[in-house]
Amino acid sequence: MAMEKMSIAKALNESLRKALDTDPKVLIMGEDVGKLGGVFRITDGLQKDFGEDRVIDTPLAESGIVGTAIGLALRGYRPIVEIQFDGFVFPAYDQIVTQLAKMHARALGKIKLPVVVRIPYGGGIGAVEHHSESPEALFAHVAGLKVVSPSNASDAYWMMQQAVQSDDPIIFFEPKRRYWDKGEVETDSIPGPLHRAAVARTGSDLTLVAYGPMVKVCLEAAAAAQEEGKSIEVLDLRSMSPIDFDAIQTSVEKTRRLVVVHEAPVFYGSGAEIAARITERCFYHLEAPVLRVGGYHVPYPPARLEDEYLPGLDRVLDAVDRSLAY
Amino acid sequence: MTVESTAASKPRRSSKRTSAVKTPARTSAKTPAKTPQSSEPELVQLLTPEGERVEHPDYEIDLTAEELRGLYRDMVLTRRFDAEATALQRQGELGLWASLLGQEAAQIGSGRALRDDDYVFPTYREHGVAWCRGVDPTNLLGMFRGVNHGGWDPNSNNFHLYTIVIGSQTLHATGYAMGVAKDGADSAVIAYFGDGASSQGDVAESFTFSAVYNAPVVFFCQNNQWAISEPTEKQTRVPLYQRAQGFGFPGVRVDGNDVLACLAVTRSALERARRGEGPTLVEAFTYRMGAHTTSDDPTKYRADEERASWEAKDPILRLRTYLEKQGSADEAFFTALDEESETLGKRVREAVRAMPDPDPMAIFDHAYADGNPLVDEERAQFAAYQASFADSDSAEEGK
Ligand SMILES: Cc1ncc(C[n+]2csc(CCOP(=O)(O)OP(=O)(O)O)c2C)c(N)n1
């Protein structure tokens, strides 16, 4: 095989197909994942090819979906469950937090829970409420879970492969407004570890850290800043738990300035964790306080205001200017 | 007719219903031979798809010609409103629409059974119930247009906000009903949800709570056969109304395309609640004629013939046939209603197009009732940021 250009949605679909094909213990479960292929068509055609025993339309019960996936995993299966939208994971939150995250530790490592929970997340698609949220910090705060989000097709493909193979539960956040963005996928190459951050663009004046849907915005901001003679490095975090602090440190030691960008509210968000750790690690390198750009401490707004709410190019550049002004 | 349906109006017989879950719903053995019989023996039905009036021993209803015309008018206008909203979505005026097409009888029948002091907890498709509550239909569109998350004061019509997370509102309804009972009031509460939502833990928990606390709540499940792409068989292996049995209260299945039966059955369940006899589950057996929402493509998962078979059971058509046969409505009535429909459509269209985008500062407006210094700080930062675009319109809004 070789290089192929495909959308993030297609890359996920291909990756799930490969997972089902490779390991008979892999299952896909969720609402509408069968005939419909999921509301975003990520599982399109999989039930047709692998049957209703492998690609399972579940009752409309998220606690039930995750809870039974835990049981299936205890029995040796590797379930990949789909939560239809970010806001609907909360009925399953109890199972994820009180059970999925902790069972391995409680069993003194004797059992493994290779469950992947796929969640299309984030805003920018003009949806009604509960369809646009970024709850990643709520999961990253819980020990026992790994939380990741790809920002491009190649990562979507490979990170899903790695997530399925992981013996730990993975919360796999898919940036839904990027589903249709296309990129090159090298289906043969062996990727780096799942938690490793990637330098999406090199630069020397300031580091932007982002993940998922905001990586594209940061790359655009960096390109715009370039025209003003500013050299911005963009780091794609890829994993929100664990976080590759070494990669951020390396970058910040070079650029001496850091801005963290995410859609989720800034307050208690992943940017707070990054800012605190990097301040500890890089205090004498920093020329400016670590700044954060993200959502406000308000409910995710109705669609007609989401462009005001979501960090866009201007808000990122504004933070870049403020950092450089120190 | 089933044992359970009988129980809905005669709760004291509930102890005799123990075998009902195991036995499939039975036919009309109890129906006196003289009376015309329902063409759908498992459902409570008072008006057949052919527009024949039939009797049911437990659900008598006697409506005046005017009342019948009123139900017809409600259904026609609701359908017109729904069609207009669907069209507005296609024209880009709404981001999304969840059509109620086909479910008018379930909603108008149950909605018209309510008293003003009853309280409604809808899901996201109850446009017909909202109509019965006197909620201005244009208020329903703000959420789908993306200018707000609700758009009406729930207490002004005792009609709660739409709930998108499926099943959540059944617990709110139960708690509200517990409050009603504590207050010694004799009003009732009704919670709407779908067949898919019936699988949610919240719904099971609301059944438990309402039974244990004998809450005056009616659970009105519109079984429209589909939960997006999943048929009801993916949610349950017993008829949904039979679920109630295991929780200790009656369940009844009603022809959801028969507005008279929906009215009679809901009325009876509400009266039972008012009498302090606790919850009832009503399963309105109906059909979603359109897509799940305007984002959905039903051709991926269901056959055209299925829809066609339900068209023959159209709730509006059958009442019209009955009205005409009875001579309860003349040509002038139908013509006037057509005009009224057009006027409504036009009003809705104009209202939506005139609906302004909210002021960006509105993001911060109602996050907290008591205020919050963090929100105040962020509001000020946001305003300053908006104002920094000195030469653009947003600079004005930012102040
Ligand atoms: C907790 C939760 N999970 C998933 C969804 C996405 N979703 C919205 S409507 C729907 C189907 C609901 O079907 P049903 O309850 O039968 O009601 P209907 O839409 O058919 O009226 C789904 C899966 C949701 N809104 N909430």
Q: Tell me, what's the pLDDT at A189?
A: 82
In tens, the pLDDT along B137-148 reads: 999 999 999 999
Partner residue facing A298 (CB), from B197, B229, B375:
B375
Could you tell me what percent of chain B has a pLDDT over 90? 86
For a mutational test of ligand 1's pocket, the pick from B107, B228, B232, i.e. the residue with the most ligand atoms closer than 8 A to its C-beta, is B228
* pLDDT tens, per residue, chain A with 326 residues: 578 999 999 999 999 999 999 999 999 999 999 999 999 999 999 999 999 999 999 999 999 999 999 999 999 999 999 999 999 999 999 999 999 999 999 999 999 999 999 999 999 999 999 999 999 999 999 999 999 999 999 999 999 999 999 999 999 999 999 999 999 998 888 889 999 999 999 999 999 999 999 999 999 999 999 999 999 999 999 999 999 999 999 999 999 999 999 999 999 999 999 999 999 999 999 999 999 999 999 999 999 999 999 999 999 999 999 999 99
Residue A182 φ/ψ region, left for φ over 0, alpha for ψ in the -120 to 50 degree band, beta for the rest: beta
Report pTM: 0.92
Rounded CA-CA distance A284/B338 in Å is 77
- Tell whether the torsion through CA atoms of B371, B376, B378 and B382 is positive or negative: positive
B22: pLDDT strictly greater than 50: no
Strand (E) or helix (H) holding B222: strand B217-223
Spell out which residues of chain B touch residue A91, defining contact as CB-CB under 8 Å: 165, 200-202
B20: pLDDT strictly greater than 50: no
B125 lines ligand 1 (CB under 6 A): yes
In tens, the pLDDT along B76-106 reads: 999 999 999 999 999 999 999 999 999 999 9
Q: Tell me, what's the pLDDT at B9?
A: 36
B194 lines ligand 1 (CB under 6 A): yes
Q: Is A116 in contact with A156 (CB distance < 8 Å)?
A: no
For the CA atoms of chain A, what is the radius of gyration?
19
Q: Tell me, what's the pLDDT at B6?
A: 35
Rounded CA-CA distance A130/A79 in Å is 25
Q: Tell me, what's the pLDDT at B42?
A: 82
Query: Where are the strands (E) in chain A, listed by range?
Result: 3-7, 26-30, 55-57, 78-82, 116-121, 146-148, 170-175, 182-186, 198-201, 206-210, 232-236, 239-241, 258-265, 291-295
Q: How confident is the model at residue B387 (pLDDT cuts 50, 70, 90)?
A: very high
Contacts 24+ apart (CB under 8 A), B333-342: B333/B69, B337/B72, B337/B73, B337/B76, B337/B77, B340/B73, B340/B77, B341/B76, B341/B77, B341/B80, B342/B80
Strand (E) or helix (H) holding B253: strand B251-255
Q: Tell me, what's the pLDDT at B396?
A: 47
Q: State both tokens at B68.
A: 């019948």
How far does B367 lie from chain A, in Å, by closest CA? 5
DSSP secondary structure of A190-240: PP--TT--EEEE--SSEEEEE-TTHHHHHHHHHHHHHHTT--EEEEE--EE
Q: Count A/B contacts: CB-CB distance under 8 Å.
A: 118
Average confidence score pLDDT of chain B: 90
Structure ipTM: 0.94
